[in-house]
Amino acid sequence: MNHEHVRDHIYVDGAWIPSHGSRTIDVVDPTTEQPIGRVPDGTPKDVDAAVRAARRAFPDWSRTPAETRARYLREVADGLERRAPELAALIAREVGTPIAFARMAQVGLAVLTFRTAAEVGGSYSYERREANSLIVREGVGVVGAITPWNYPLHQAAAKVAYALAAGSTVVLKPSEVAPLSAWVLAEAIDEAGVPAGVFNLVSGTGPVVGEAIAGHRDVDLVSFTGSTAVGRRISKVAADTVKRVTLELGGKSPTVLLADADPAAVVPRAVAGAFLNNGQTCCALTRLLVPRALKHRVERMAKAGAEATVIGDPSQPTTQLGPLVSHTQRERVRGHVEHAVEQGATLLCGGTQPPEGLSHGYFVRPTVLTDVTPAMDVHHDEVFGPVLVIEAYDDEDHAVRLANDTDYGLAAAVWSADPARALAVARRIRAGQVEVNGAPFNPRAPFGGYGQSGNGREHGVFGLEEFLETKSIQL
């Protein structure tokens, strides 16, 4: 068995040490279905050692000037940037992300997050007067960061960078499915000279390491990104110690194409947006809501766009769609598609058969379903694969009702020839981020969701404040 990326140690208190456990977890390349590395299968003892180190480091780190903390973060960003080609290739292999998107988003956004957190945290006003009180914002304490496999470095950066900027210390548990980039992050933090114990890395499974972090009495806040089901479990475990919990969970996000919008401008963007990172994006815009009069035209364009998507080896620069991350994920997505057709959805293209010439690897054809209604599970359930559904609406009010007919509320998009009209509809949609006419991502804007998409926000000032406590000193 060939393991190219063997990681035998965890990172605790500024040193690489063996896990208390003897077992390991294989990391599988979803393109070849072969192991490419392994990491320690950590234990609650590992978590306890990491938490104790973070607790010891917290007083000095929280008193370190904010601009000094920001300088460390910029050093980490520089270290990640120096290793960007290596990181992009690594994430393409462990997640299946097409290499071009891995460079831009998986690595580029992570570097940008560290730089933005340095800027936000270094310039934030941590004290202000309110009548006879001094209002002080200070680090919350020890943060347990539990991150997903779909954006393994970027999601770690969103938590680690802002927690450290706020003066909090961190114990990070990366997903056991795609953990390897977390070791590069730990190396960059170590090389930047971040004091011992400020950042700690423990690998392992959710039911063991994740629950040990969520339930640890000396962890002050748990920040989790992942599925809604696991988010519920973490909330329950964390409740015993009444710690703060922030959650960034699932989504079933709509693109609303208003009647005056140009489908030729919108539909290709909608197809590409639904298939980002092979459809494995929590905020992917996976429901395309269209006026009934435009439905057939939109269907033709969506089918053409999906069928033109280049699917294959994620290491190739022309690839637009790689494999799903695991066999389990592929079977789950296929099951969603089969069930949708059984419930009456029309399969425009794609489906459950392997793509031509790709008998190996966890590939799913780019799929478009139409005639989808709120009576179908695929209207409500997060598929987390390259599957776009088309739903017809009768008027603007109906479009808003369909957009909001979900337990989630993470993201949305609105397109109109009239920006004021698009903004008016955007205001009516219950979602944490709404994109108007293809406006770009803003790394300083708060990211998070309504409903079962979670609690709390990441990025920018709001993301920093999640890792702060509030004290009032009466004078």
Q: What pLDDT, in 10s, does the model give residues 416-428?
A: 999 999 999 999 9
Asked if pLDDT for residue 3 goes beyond 80, the answer is: no
Per-residue pLDDT for 81 more than 60? yes
**pLDDT for 218 beyond 50:** yes
Mean pLDDT, the chain, whole residue set: 97
Q: Name the active-site residue from 75, 176, 282, 466.
A: 282
* 303-337 per-position pLDDT tens digit: 999 999 999 999 999 999 999 999 999 999 999 99
For residue 1, what pLDDT is reported? 43
Which ranges in the chain are annotated with CATH 3.40.309.10?
253-405+411-442
pTM beyond 0.85, yes or no: yes
pLDDT digits (tens, 9 = 90+) for 160-208: 999 999 999 999 999 999 999 999 999 999 999 999 999 999 999 999 9
Q: Which pLDDT does position 116 carry in this prediction?
A: 98
Class assignment of domain 253-405+411-442?
A: alpha beta
Q: What are phi and psi of 343, to 5 degrees?
A: -85, 0
* 176 flagged as catalytic: no
Q: Please say if the pLDDT value at position 4 is more than 90.
A: no
Per-residue pLDDT, averaged over 439-447, amounts to 95
Q: Which one is catalytic: 94, 248, 382, 469?
A: 248
The pLDDT value recorded for residue 2 is: 52
Tell me the CATH class for 5-250+452-474.
alpha beta
pLDDT tens string 345-393: 999 999 999 999 998 999 999 999 999 999 999 999 999 999 999 999 9
Above pLDDT 70, what percent of the chain?
Answer: 99
